[in-house]
Amino acid sequence: MIPDRPLEVLKAIVRDYIASKEPVGSKSLVERHSFGVSAATIRNDMAILEEEELIVAPHTSSGRVPTDKGYRMFVDQLSEVKPLSAAERAAIEGFLSKSSDLDETLGHTARLLSQLTNQVALVQYPSLGRASVRHIEIISIDELRLLLMLITDSGRIQQHVVEIPGGYEITDVEKLRNLLNESVEGKPLSEAAALIKGVGQKATAKIKQLSDRVLPELLLLVDANSQEKILLAGTSNLARRGDDFPGSISPVLEAIEEQVVLLKLISEMQADAHGVSLRIGRENNVDALLSTSVVVSGYENQGSEIAKVGVIGPTRMDYSSNIGAVLAVARYLTKSLGGSQ
């Protein structure tokens, strides 16, 4: 266990390092904070911290820098997150109230969060999981084309245009639609595929030709729905913080543009007591993200978490305010979804 003062020293080091980008030494520490002890004593404490691998010295004789483990201890000790300013709250309200459909809401959220934190924001689309089918719609666009729609209770709406052989009647389309809705409406997405196939069996000869074209496409929609998707915003914030990354930022950008990697990462992250979850540096288990941290929180619809929202930035980030912003935005997003969906 780490004694009290050394812990305070660690916190001070993290804070100073975040603020200054410079390795912090014993002398500047005693100057800026009033520990009531001398630099030499601080040095002893720092020796303890180094022993515990909470800090390291980049070169033999320079100040210390927190390790991933150090950051971890710091955030775990973080008793309270920095609350948003009134202006920031107002910005959130203003931004999110304007949104209409889900796409727009999530888009706004991502932009907002990236501006709030000056980091790269990520917003995960609600997907499969607990979602269920709210409605299936088939609209005739013209003689040869139908528009299929799949609406889920998470608010996600997907559509697809399908070409069909001519000569069907409008009532046939309606019949098929009703058949589909009767058997699928309200059912979880995970069961939808099987149920849709079931409809194919039941289809009368009359609408068989139609359903043969429509159902496979519908299955694709269901499948696409289960495909997770992440929205990014503020990528340029990474570039601005370029010097926080050893070498080039381009592998980092590549990694976060690679949806699969990110999705895997955030899906593994389980929220802690405060409703937030974060990975620091090597905790990501992704080489390219070795010097980045990820902060995410879940947002909900109808009482259960449907997806995640968060930020990604250099390990040397202001955890306190980023956590605050992510939490606030997640909360507002939940509220906003609950209201209009």
Partner DNA sequence: GTTAGCACTCATTGGTTCTGAGTGCCAATA
Partner DNA sequence: TATTGGCACTCAGAACCAATGAGTGCTAAC
The contact set with a copy of itself (CB under 8 A) reads 100-101, 134-135, 137, 139, 141-142, 147, 149, 151, 155, 157-161, 163, 217, 220, 234-236, 239-240, 242, 248-250, 253-254, 257, 340-341
**151 interface partner picked from a copy of itself, DNA, none, CB below 5 to 8 A per type:** a copy of itself
Evaluated on CA atoms 320, 325, 330, 331, the torsion sign reads positive
- Cβ closest to DNA, residue 15 vs residue 43: 43
Q: Which is nearer to a copy of itself, 9 or 311 (CB)?
A: 311
Q: Of 48-107, which residues contact DNA (CB under 7 A)?
A: 50, 57, 59-64
Closest separation in Å from C-beta 291 to DNA? 17
CA-CA distance, 49 to 307, in Å (whole number)?
Answer: 37
Site for DNA in 173-232 (CB under 7 A): none
Q: 160-165, long-range: CB within 8 Å, 24+ apart, which pairs?
A: 160/217, 160/220, 160/221, 162/213, 162/214, 162/217, 163/213, 164/210, 164/213, 164/214, 165/209, 165/213
Q: Identify what 236 binds: a copy of itself, DNA, none; CB under 5 to 8 Å per kind.
A: a copy of itself
Nearest to 315 by CA among 286, 272, 335: 286
Among a copy of itself, DNA, none, what does residue 27 contact (CB within 5–8 Å per kind)? DNA
Among candidates 326, 272, 249, 334, which has minimal Cα distance to 294? 326
Return the residue of 19, 21, 47, 227 that touches DNA, per CB under 7 A.
47
Per-residue tokens: 305: 């978490």
> Which one of 26, 67, 292, 293 is in contact with DNA (CB under 7 A)?
26
d(CA 162, CA 296): 38
